[in-house]
Structure 1
Amino acid sequence: MTDLLSESLKERIRAAYSATVAARKLSPRRGQRQMIGAVARALARRPEDGSAPTESPICVVEAGTGTGKTIAYALAAIPVAQDRGKRLVVATATVALQEQFVHKDLPDIAAGSGLVFTAALAKGRRRYVCLSKLDRQLAQGQDASAAIPLYPDELPAAGAADALPRYEAMIDALGRGSWDGDRDSWPEALDEAAWLPVTTDHNQCTGRRCPNVGQCSFFRAREALQGADVVVANHDLVLADLALGGGAILPPPEDTIYIFDEGHHLPDKALNHFSSFCRLHSTRQWLRDSARGLTAGVADIGGIAGVGPLLEQLPDKLEDLAGGLEVVEDAVAALLAEDDAHTGREAERLRFPHGRVPAVLEPLAGNLAAGFGRLASNLARLEGCLEDELENGDRETVEPWHLAVAGMRGRAENTLALWQDYAAPDPEGQPPRARWITRIRTAAGGTVGHDLLCSPILATDILAEHLWPRAAGVVVTSATLTALRSFDRFRQRSGVPDDAIFEVVGSPFDYRRATLTVPAMAADGGNAAAHTAELIEHLPHWLDEDEAALVLFGSRRQMLEVCDGVAGRMGDRLLVQDSLGKQEILRRHREAVDAGRGSVIFGLASFAEGVDLPGDYCRHVVIAKLPFAVPDSPLEAALAEWVEDQGGNAFMEISVPDAALRLTQASGRLLRTEGDWGRITLCDRRVVTRRYGRAILDSLPPFRREIA
């Protein structure tokens, strides 16, 4: 394809990179230049005249640790977006990374590159206080009878004595201008019970009809996005916006170039946003609470045009649906009891093979889908009547009811999605959805209820509908996008078009500064009991007393058993996941190393990714076994089942590439800067004794190897 980058645009990008390198006193990096070129070429594929590109304006870049990918994609994408008259939305994996990018990375890039651009931080409504609900909480605190308990999220703190002083402090801070209404900028931690009653979602928000819209924290933040060249969001917010059709919170996809940093999370995040869920016992209780609340509402709003007949009909409809859920609860309990009898144990969940809903549930799901559909429709009509009344009626009386009914409608629509997913068969030839039941336990281990869940097993159709063909451009980047030296795994799970630009940018690190050891062991990771016993025997000898180490386990059970077995020989230098919060473990670990003492962290998957312990904070990473997925994951099991149905080999096509990717992420905890060095010990002989193990081993960076 003809290069659509003009010479002036190329020169602008080159000048920005040269200025950045000079300002930071860096040496030009080949990998950075390679990534800048790939991103710019891909984004230039959409012609300036707005006509459809002949090739996808999409770039997928695996950029090794230390590449400086943030600088690379920013210096390429900002000039292209400005040249094309598009907005740039940079999506990070977490809110914390958002804050770092907008408050540190972008100002540094602006200062060093000579590029002139504006930036704004985007968050969802749930991150901002709702003035209407805050006012209502304060009013209810003075008059408990004013509460209308139709939306359960409001119940934990409504009128609670310990919450009122905090709400009063919020109102005061907003009035003085010392707080912008953003949860993350409130000076103290806010737990969910205190925060949920004073925030809102798109269902309950009355938008421009709200009397507080002029002072609304969310709309003020949203207005700041309108003129920004760069909008910094997170994956969840981008996907939530796309699920609403695009352009609801962020700029429309057609006017947007997206960058997904830590993009290996994108397919899983998409599945989460397009899955459905119903907790049977709490939904049943919510329906009955709502019926009582609506019955009580006749006195307040029954005289409003169109409202009275709906208030008379809805309580019976709600009660009928609650009764239908009781029938489903009995059927679910019987299915689980039958499975328990068959397996001889009480499982935490029951997955439906091939996603097929059991015959006993299918007609019940159809009835509930129809019932919740009618409920959502009636609540929408009721909400419309209340919206009309908000314009000219008694706002003080009507607004709380409008908020409550809008919340009810949102919950009804979410529940409807689950029953539609259970009632409708999957299209022929398409990957099925995963459907399963989960037991809800008490603290003592008893069953109190059940969740019904449904999720797509691949994000291909989701992203193909909402993202890839609509966006003005997309860049997906991460240090781990390939598995077994191929993008096939990411292609399968994301549906990214085959004509996208795929690029692997090597790390500048010298991997020979690290040694990968596979020690001699009698048992491999597939023999759980014997493998655990050997770890208990050898681990204290493999770990130097004075060094900082990270030991990663694939299962909680093995981690705790090894911890019990070695605790007496490792003294007080052992820190174990879940014994303390993650950040507290990392703080104590760094404190010990700073004091010249050895420290060892025992962790699970959350410590194998995103943990940054450079230099002396981590000289040894021990990986207990090859990180194959937990076999009882409903999504993984359903995907494997579908691959086998298509004549494939699920172990080789799914399990092995997944394990290779996770092993690369885990081993990446060692070298965090160009000067780092140390050891990686992989305690699983399958990597050398099994045929697939050699492929996994060869997909790792070129560490020096010591294989017994």
Structure 2
Amino acid sequence: MKPEDQLLIQKAYREFLEGRQVKPRGGQKQMIADIAKSFAAIAEDEEGRRKGNNHLIAIEAGTGTGKTLAYLLATLPLAQAREKRLILSTATIALQEQLLLRDLPDLKKLTSLDFNFALAKGRGRYLCTAQLSKAAASLRAAEPESEKATLSLFEQELLAQPQAKDEEVLTRLLEDFAGGRWDGDRDSLQEAVPQDLWNRLTTDHQRCTNRRCPHFAAACPFYNARRELEQADVIVANHDLVLADLALGGGAILPAPEQSYYVFDEAHHLPDKALNHFAASFRFNASLKWLQLLKKSQPDLLRALAASPSATSQLNQILVPVDELVRDLGVLYSQLLDGTPFKDSYNPSQPVFRWPQGKLPEEVRQFAGQLLIYFSTLCRLLENLVNQLKEAQDPEKGSSLDAEIAAEWQPLLALLHSRALAAHQLWSLCAEPDQEGRPPHARWLTQHRLSEGDEDLELAASPVTAAGDLAYRLWSRCFGSALTSATLTALGKFDRLKQRTGLAEATPCHSYPSPFDYQRLGILEVPKQACDPSQQQAHTDAILDYLETELQHPQAAALVLFSSRRQMNEVYDGLPTQLKRVTLTQDQLSKNRLIEKHRVRIDEKKPSIIFGLASLAEGIDLPGKYLTHVIIARLPFSTPDDPVDATLAEWIESTGGNPFMQITVPDASVRLVQACGRLIRQEDDQGKVTLLDRRILTKRYGSQLLNSLPPFKRQLS
């Protein structure tokens, strides 16, 4: 590291500590040093491109380490010195708000570091000014848009029209935006807008005409926000937005990966988020519907775009792939519906069938290959049409098409292009055989039983691990990246993280324990009531017995975590009246409202108990008096009916591995640590963690799980 960079970081750290009037923490200092040394060691060529592969680092930092300040101080000065952008990616809104409202403003105010920061969000969070104007005009028009002959089929079936009940909301939004009282950001609205109406008022990269739009220069909220991003040294984003940007090729929403340092906070969420982005699905009847609508509307399109020989040529070609798709999809739908042994899932209206190890029958795979060809052709034709309609709206292009007609049809064809691209992705995952010796794709079929006797089949495919995609799309391209969280290890090792994220085996990984004195602050108990959850009724009775014994006191401030909604509700129904009166369940209130009501009760010196599921085992902060007892009903093993997990387990078993010990136990270890982490949030918190699952004492994996937990004082009955 250059001496001047080291001095700058050390100076900023001293300034921050003095400004906050806090003492340095050992783990925090070590984290600053490790990240700074790692990022400073990255070599670059004369054009600023990274050389070598020593650009990644993973750090687990226990609660109370102060990791946010650590990674900010370690990365920001180096990013600025190398003229790179720093992208901070989180998994939760709460952490984004902490960065934007406290950590970054304090760093700028208390230190001599000079930087700008901004929040990055996708287009879907911003108003499209053109869409707002169009929606408002359609309500004022004597003839509704849906009655226009040329657009009726598309508008009625594909694009939701604003209803009369929306007129008041639309009018208010238009007035507030025009009057400068609203900046077009959905998150800054004082009153919520219904999702169906908001979908009408926003856009995506396919439908947006960018610089050809008359509102682009000054009145586009999304591009106004983008201009702020261009001036920012630090960009706060979330994992979904980073992955969406990579899916678009990188550099479409955020700065190019090659010119960016990334810090992934809450990085243990990244693999699951990535899996969602790299998966695809396809509904047969819904797709047949829009394909048939496209065919019926082709004559109207020909008349509307007759002035362009090129557009006419594309439209004349479009019927061939559409006809082939309608025919083959209909045949395949019937075959799958009649020949698939569906199995009832946890949702009775959605029976599921999963192909073992994701291997499709050869006949289905051949169908997929043919459908892929047709969708490739359709995507190409629709893309050409959309590009021509966009150009027609640019006065500098001199198109033969009328700009108003182009503007009228372009959003609709762009929507169809998006649907065709999504279909292409699914059939690509189904047509390509899995590589020998590599984890397969999961492939499964869901039967949707709709209202009035209708039904549909949904074919889905997903990689079983995001490792390959992350390695290819992100790690191979970014200039540098740090992954951090309080829970990156599983059973004390980083092996599971590397497997799931595609980090190279040689990637340096460090773990800094929490500075909290867990032996003094907390107790971990497995009480006499704990039993094996395989005896379901006995386990439910044991939970009730423990709660009635331990929580019938006026200072109760407890969080009870369940792995099953059914058991949570059974226990709640079985509570004595006095306990039920002070118990809040996750089924009764939203997460935020639940926490708010719990805090109010504790402030009023009343007992309060929260019943929650997995989502409350992480990301909630109830320090001090607000939470003194965490009760975990059972070990948080994942459910075996998830198609992706089941396919991965099959593959591991087929290669001679043990999926339970290689996947299930390590993942449960992470979730158990997160659940225990709800208790001690500050260095003076105190309380108890209770585990009502005796398997942690009787099974051979139990000692591994116990050893991975914070070092509380233990009381094991």
TM class by shorter-chain length?
A: over 0.9
Work out whether 1:235 is the aligned partner of 2:234.
Answer: no
Work out whether 1:8 is the aligned partner of 2:4.
Answer: yes
Residue in 1 aligned with 2:444? 436
Question: In 1, distance between residues paired with 2:691 and 2:333?
Answer: 46
Question: In 1, distance between residues paired with 2:447 and 2:345?
Answer: 17
2:502 corresponds to which of 495, 503, 512: 495
1:440 and 1:448 in contact (8 A); partners too: yes
Question: In 2, distance between residues paired with 1:239 and 1:290?
Answer: 31
Alignment of 1:532-547 (within 5 A): 532-546=540-554, 547=556
Work out whether 1:272 is the aligned partner of 2:272.
Answer: no
Work out whether 1:590 is the aligned partner of 2:599.
Answer: yes
How far did residue 292 of structure 1 move? 3.3
Residue in 2 aligned with 1:683? 692
Secondary structure at the aligned position of 1:173 is classed as: helix
Question: In 1, distance between residues paired with 2:17 and 2:586?
Answer: 40
- 1:645-692 Cα deviation digits (max 9, x unpaired): 221111111111011110000111111111111111100111011110
How far did residue 447 of structure 1 move? 7.2
How far did residue 530 of structure 1 move? 2.5
- 1:579-627 Cα deviation digits (max 9, x unpaired): 2212121121111111111111111100111111111111111000000
Residue in 2 aligned with 1:123? 121
1:439 and 1:447 in contact (8 A); partners too: no
Work out whether 1:203 is the aligned partner of 2:201.
Answer: no
How far did residue 386 of structure 1 move? 2.0
1:66 and 1:507 in contact (8 A); partners too: yes
2:552 and 2:579 in contact (8 A); partners too: no
Distance 1:616 1:428, change over 3 A: same
Distance 1:264 1:309, change over 3 A: same
Distance 1:54 1:370, change over 3 A: closer
Work out whether 1:42 is the aligned partner of 2:51.
Answer: no
How far did residue 60 of structure 1 move? 0.6
How far did residue 151 of structure 1 move? 6.4
Distance 1:349 1:60, change over 3 A: same
Residue in 1 aligned with 2:334? 330
Residue in 1 aligned with 2:315? 311
1:576 corresponds to which of 577, 585, 600: 585
Alignment of 1:627-706 (within 5 A): 627-706=636-715
Question: In 1, distance between residues paired with 2:526 and 2:66?
Answer: 31
Distance 1:70 1:91, change over 3 A: same
2:50 and 2:479 in contact (8 A); partners too: no
Secondary structure at the aligned position of 2:575 is classed as: helix
1:38 and 1:501 in contact (8 A); partners too: no
1:340 and 1:346 in contact (8 A); partners too: no
2:135 and 2:201 in contact (8 A); partners too: yes
Secondary structure at the aligned position of 2:383 is classed as: helix
Q: Give the alignment's TM-score, normalised by structure 1.
A: 0.94
How far did residue 61 of structure 1 move? 0.8
Secondary structure at the aligned position of 1:297 is classed as: helix
2:154 and 2:293 in contact (8 A); partners too: no
Work out whether 1:528 is the aligned partner of 2:536.
Answer: yes
Work out whether 1:402 is the aligned partner of 2:410.
Answer: yes
Distance 1:500 1:518, change over 3 A: same
Question: In 1, distance between residues paired with 2:144 and 2:315?
Answer: 20
Secondary structure at the aligned position of 2:503 is classed as: coil
How far did residue 51 of structure 1 move? 6.3
Residue in 2 aligned with 1:189? 192
Share of identical aligned residues, percent?
A: 43
Question: In 2, distance between residues paired with 1:46 and 1:707?
Answer: 49
1:141 and 1:158 in contact (8 A); partners too: no
Question: In 2, distance between residues paired with 1:433 and 1:159?
Answer: 40
Question: In 1, distance between residues paired with 2:566 and 2:34?
Answer: 44
Residue in 2 aligned with 1:609? 618
Residue in 2 aligned with 1:163? 166
Question: In 2, distance between residues paired with 1:563 and 1:442?
Answer: 32
Residue in 1 aligned with 2:373? 370
Which 5+ residue runs of structure 2 have no aligned equivalent?
none
* Number of residue-to-residue matches in the alignment: 701
Secondary structure at the aligned position of 2:281 is classed as: strand
Secondary structure at the aligned position of 1:515 is classed as: strand
How far did residue 360 of structure 1 move? 4.4
Question: In 1, distance between residues paired with 2:582 and 2:159?
Answer: 40
How far did residue 142 of structure 1 move? 2.8
How far did residue 66 of structure 1 move? 1.4
- 1:210-265 Cα deviation digits (max 9, x unpaired): 22211211111111111211111111111111111111111111110001111111
How far did residue 560 of structure 1 move? 1.6
1:254 corresponds to which of 249, 252, 258: 258
What is the identity, as a one-letter code, of the residue corresponding to 2:507? Answer: A
How far did residue 375 of structure 1 move? 1.2
Q: Which moved more, 1:527-536 or 1:641-650?
A: 527-536
Distance 1:51 1:157, change over 3 A: closer
- 1:520-561 Cα deviation digits (max 9, x unpaired): 247312333321232233322132432111100111121122
How far did residue 317 of structure 1 move? 4.2
Alignment of 1:204-219 (within 5 A): 204-214=207-217, 215-219=219-223
What is the identity, as a one-letter code, of the residue corresponding to 2:612? Answer: G
How far did residue 58 of structure 1 move? 1.2
What is the identity, as a one-letter code, of the residue corresponding to 1:245? Answer: G
Residue in 2 aligned with 1:352? 355
2:435 corresponds to which of 427, 446, 454: 427
Residue in 2 aligned with 1:27? 23
Residue in 1 aligned with 2:101? 103
What is the identity, as a one-letter code, of the residue corresponding to 2:387? Answer: G
What is the identity, as a one-letter code, of the residue corresponding to 1:286? Answer: W
How far did residue 315 of structure 1 move? 5.1
Residue in 2 aligned with 1:621? 630
Residue in 1 aligned with 2:569? 560
2:210 and 2:216 in contact (8 A); partners too: yes
Distance 1:604 1:341, change over 3 A: closer
How far did residue 54 of structure 1 move? 4.3
Distance 1:286 1:264, change over 3 A: same
Distance 1:135 1:24, change over 3 A: same
Distance 1:153 1:70, change over 3 A: farther
Q: Which moved more, 1:656-665 or 1:573-582?
A: 573-582
How far did residue 437 of structure 1 move? 1.4
Distance 1:295 1:617, change over 3 A: farther
Question: In 2, distance between residues paired with 1:152 and 1:618?
Answer: 52
Question: In 2, distance between residues paired with 1:660 and 1:480?
Answer: 9
1:517 and 1:706 in contact (8 A); partners too: yes
How far did residue 299 of structure 1 move? 3.5
What is the identity, as a one-letter code, of the residue corresponding to 1:394? Answer: D
Q: Give the alignment's TM-score, normalised by structure 2.
A: 0.93
Question: In 2, distance between residues paired with 1:478 and 1:519?
Answer: 31
Question: In 2, distance between residues paired with 1:6 and 1:311?
Answer: 61
Residue in 2 aligned with 1:72? 70
Question: In 1, distance between residues paired with 2:67 and 2:345?
Answer: 52
What is the identity, as a one-letter code, of the residue corresponding to 1:14? Answer: Q
Question: In 2, distance between residues paired with 1:601 and 1:314?
Answer: 57
Q: Could you say what the CA RMSD is over the residues aligned between the two structures, in angstroms?
A: 2.3
Which 5+ residue runs of structure 1 have no aligned equivalent?
none
2:342 and 2:351 in contact (8 A); partners too: no
Question: In 2, distance between residues paired with 1:150 and 1:318?
Answer: 16
How far did residue 178 of structure 1 move? 2.1
Distance 1:460 1:361, change over 3 A: same
1:150 and 1:293 in contact (8 A); partners too: yes
Question: In 1, distance between residues paired with 2:374 and 2:487?
Answer: 45
What is the identity, as a one-letter code, of the residue corresponding to 2:228? Answer: A
What is the identity, as a one-letter code, of the residue corresponding to 1:146? Answer: E
Question: In 2, distance between residues paired with 1:517 and 1:469?
Answer: 45
What is the identity, as a one-letter code, of the residue corresponding to 2:277? Answer: H
Alignment of 1:380-395 (within 5 A): 380-391=383-394, 392=398, 393-395=401-403
